[in-house]
Chain A
Amino acid sequence: MPKTTSVRSNKIKVAGATIAFNVIGYILISILALVCLIPFIILISGSFSVEQEIRLHGLSILPQGFSTEAYEFVFRQPMDIIRAYGITIFITAVGAGVGLILLTMTAFVISRKDFKYRNVISFYFYFTTLFNGGMVCTYIFFIRYYHLKDSLLALILPGLCPVFYMLIMRNFIQALPTALIESAKIDGAGEVRIFFQIVLPLLGSGLATIGLFIALGYWNDWYNAMLYINSEWKFPLQYMLYNMTQKAAAMSRIATLLGIPVEDLPSTTLKLAMAVIATGPIILLYPFLQKYFVKGVTIGSVKG
């Protein structure tokens, strides 16, 4: 029976290939996952290390000694970090709230297949991603003509209406059954009413997804603060952290606040502890919010 043997040996070969693929695949993917995690582990163990040990041996995956000194320093004068948190939460909430309304309304307009100018309006937005004045022009206009130097508006306005998210939102709206909008129109509902009473309530997960993307942008923003904000009390969290890691002046300010000489400040562990405190909320919320982001990326990749 040569035929059955060949079929059987082929089956074994097929199964062997699958096993080989899976073994290599699992190993590769586990290494990659480790690489993604290790910096976070180094950050956390570094923040719990003893400063002198780090100066001697350098950072590593395990804590060098164990100490909560860095966190004690941060919380002895917590006003700076509380204020920075406040600023970040404020711009994130206002920006994501206002931005989401603006962006969804516009996405509704350009999703309407029966609206003659939808392509013109879409291109009006899309064009800005292809051609723009860049950092210099925006900077000059913000400072010189809009007088936004040191204003929190300079942190909120730039991220309010990202074109890419507007297009994703349009995909979300286009996935709704058009019959609903048509029948509402026949019943005599105006566009505004259709939007607020029919489209918005059906858009639940789309709103959550895009709202979270906009919010993440604000939460992680440091760049606009670097360009426009001078007063330290207006620094959002990420920029405050950046400022602290870069400037000796920021470190000596902390030392003065605590009334100790700068040399006694556990500077490396302190910076790492601040980084942990600034990233904490994202890591904690991540498991619950991740699915919305995955959905957003998936819908965004469907060409509209």
Chain B
Amino acid sequence: MKKHGFLYELRKNKALFLMAAPAVLLTFFLAYLPMSGLVLAFKNFNYSLGVFGSAWNGFDNFAYLFQSGTGWLITRNTILYNLMNLITSQFVAVIVAIIISEMVGRLYKRFVQSVIFLPYFISWVIVGIFAYNLFNYETGVLNGLLRAMGSEPLNLYTSENAWMWVFIICLFNMWKWTGYNSIIYIAAITGIDAECYEAADIDGANIFHKIWYITFPAIRPTIITMILLQVGRILRGDFEMFYQLVGSSGQLFQVTDVIDTYVFRSLATSGNLGMTAAASFYQSAVCFILVIVVNKIVSKIDQDSALF
């Protein structure tokens, strides 16, 4: 089968290779070449010597990262936020999709769907402005309401009240993504055979029976796929969200710092780049292994739900 080697393919499909070439090259320069920068994780970075000239220092950067406690803190925060956001946003999206699918008034249905999808289109900068104007101490809507009711205003940007940001971040994440996620579930519900529901009607099932015994099982593969896609990102924080909602409010970092904001901050303040690269390396490596392992397990249980 010598004629089916790479060179044979290259000659036969020259045009196809050429068409893919620009994107392949672009990705090489934007993604693959910079990966080599991860060697910094094992080096004592010195700007004048550059990435490849700096001296090696083994696993010192990883040791510092975790001995200082920062490594554990940002790992814990990233995982907990992602788990919470994953559960709440998918749960709400499923409920919303079921309700919207059952709605009868077409005009109102379309209107509501559009409004719920709208936040997806807004940049995090604008969302950050929303958050600030809702919660700031002087002119925020929340404190205006509290003052009007005669209560003490709340300063949310202090460390005593930092825990509230867990819920604020979760709510904003839901606000931004519910529309997007529910479209995916609505599409899955639309694909269910109408005969199932008709048969259930004849058997005297009510709407709750139908949702529980027909809709839920039918969209289960979609739910699993959505969760799997997110599990692979469990160590990746949504930088834009955290940065715009929390910004540089140092008092909140204990509760809100995730790996990505930590990496950005040390880049911005010219902190220890070796340690930062160590955090990035650890983040990517864990993600990669997780995706492979989870996919292996899923493909053993149910081949159709696997990602690849």
List CB contacts (< 8 Å) of B208-245 with chain A.
Answer: 208, 222, 225, 232, 239-240, 244
Chain A minimum-CB-distance residue to B121: A282
**Interface CB pairs A-B, < 8 A, 24:** A11-B204, A17-B208, A22-B102, A55-B139, A58-B140, A59-B139, A108-B19, A109-B16, A109-B17, A125-B27, A130-B288, A133-B36, A133-B38, A137-B40, A220-B121, A239-B125, A245-B128, A245-B132, A278-B125, A278-B126, A279-B126, A287-B114, A290-B117, A293-B121
Contact B116 A275 (CB under 8 A): no
Any B CB within 8 A of the CB of A121: yes
Contact B34 A137 (CB under 8 A): yes
- Among listed A37-45, A66-74, A77-85, A255-263, interface-contacting one: A37-45
Q: How far is the CB of A121 from chain B (nearest CB, A)?
A: 6
Q: Known pairs A102-B23, A136-B280. 18 more at Cβ < 8 A?
A: A14-B207, A21-B208, A25-B102, A29-B112, A36-B115, A43-B133, A102-B26, A128-B27, A130-B291, A131-B288, A137-B280, A238-B125, A242-B128, A242-B244, A282-B122, A286-B121, A290-B114, A297-B180
Q: Most chain-B Cβ atoms within 10 A of its Cβ — which of A35, A58, A102, A301?
A: A58
Any B CB within 8 A of the CB of A155: no
Assembly CA distance A105 to B18 (angstroms) = 10
Assembly CA distance A98 to B102 (angstroms) = 42
Residues of B within 8 A of A303 (CB): 225, 307
B interface residues, how many (CB within 8 angstroms): 101
Any A CB within 8 A of the CB of B166: no
Any B CB within 8 A of the CB of A30: yes
List CB contacts (< 8 Å) of A123-139 with chain B.
Answer: 124-126, 128, 130-139
Assembly CA distance A28 to B19 (angstroms) = 50
Residues of A within 8 A of B51 (CB): 140, 144
Any A CB within 8 A of the CB of B168: no
Given known contacts A36-B119, A131-B285, A282-B121, A60 and B206 CB-to-CB distance under 8 angstroms = no
Contact A161 B133 (CB under 8 A): no
Assembly CA distance A208 to B133 (angstroms) = 35
Partner of A58, one of B126, B147, B188, B232: B147
Any B CB within 8 A of the CB of A294: yes
Assembly CA distance A132 to B206 (angstroms) = 50
Interface string of B2-39 (1 = CB under 8 A from A): 00100001000101111110111011011111111110
Residues of A within 8 A of B33 (CB): 141
Residues of A within 8 A of B32 (CB): 128
Partner of A191, one of B19, B208, B244: B19
Contact B100 A29 (CB under 8 A): yes
Residues of A within 8 A of B26 (CB): 102, 157, 160-161
Residues of A within 8 A of B4 (CB): 116
Assembly CA distance A239 to B239 (angstroms) = 15
Any B CB within 8 A of the CB of A231: no
Q: How far is the CB of A10 from chain B (nearest CB, A)?
A: 5
Contact B22 A131 (CB under 8 A): no
Contact B291 A137 (CB under 8 A): no
Chain A minimum-CB-distance residue to B176: A36
Given known contacts A43-B130, A115-B13, A128-B31, A297 and B96 CB-to-CB distance under 8 angstroms = no
Any B CB within 8 A of the CB of A246: yes
Residues of B within 8 A of A135 (CB): 239, 260, 263-264, 267, 280
Partner of A117, one of B9, B15, B100, B187: B9
Contact A222 B23 (CB under 8 A): no
Any B CB within 8 A of the CB of A4: no
Q: How far is the CB of A285 from chain B (nearest CB, A)?
A: 9
Any A CB within 8 A of the CB of B175: yes
